[in-house]
Amino acid sequence: MEIVLKRVYEDASPEDGYRVLVDRIWPRGILKEKAALDEWDKDLAPSTALREWFHHDPLLWEEFSRKYKEELLEQNPGKPFLEKNGQQEKITLVYAARDEKHCHPLVLKDYLEQLLNNKSKK
């Protein structure tokens, strides 16, 4: 399975595979038809408290990444997500953040890939 990232403001494409919005709130100015999503999984997004604390401040990126990874490991939303979507060849994690270098889907992608790698080693 391949996991890729794409902003919701970019055009959807058949090459995206299975498109999952991974933000807790709906992106501004986007109609559901334009988003062309297969799923909206809020459980994969950072908690509201963590998202509001981070507020997309690059200076807080390292600490945010650590805290978000802790949330993911504690709540483990990736396990049911991957069990449900394990047959997909490609999953595109769709998000709204402008800063593509300091956004939660980067951490989420790493977490999901680690789960996949651990599963394949068993």
Give the tens place of pLDDT for each residue, 2-51.
999 999 999 999 999 999 999 999 999 999 999 999 999 999 999 999 99
Domain total of the chain: 1
Which of these, 8, 18, 13, lies nearest to 89 by C-alpha position?
18
Q: Is residue 122 part of a domain?
A: no
Phi, psi at 74, each rounded to 5°: -70, -45
- What residue numbers bound the domain in which 39 lies? 2-117
**Residue 69 counted as domain residue:** yes
Model confidence, pTM? 0.94
Side-chain half-sphere of 42: how many Cα atoms within 13 Å? 7
Question: For residue 118, what are its two tokens?
Answer: 């651990």
The predicted pLDDT at position 38 comes to: 98
Spatial distance between the Cα atoms of 51 and 76, rounded to a whole number of angstroms: 18
- For residues 40 and 56, what is the distance between their CA atoms, to the nearest angstrom? 21
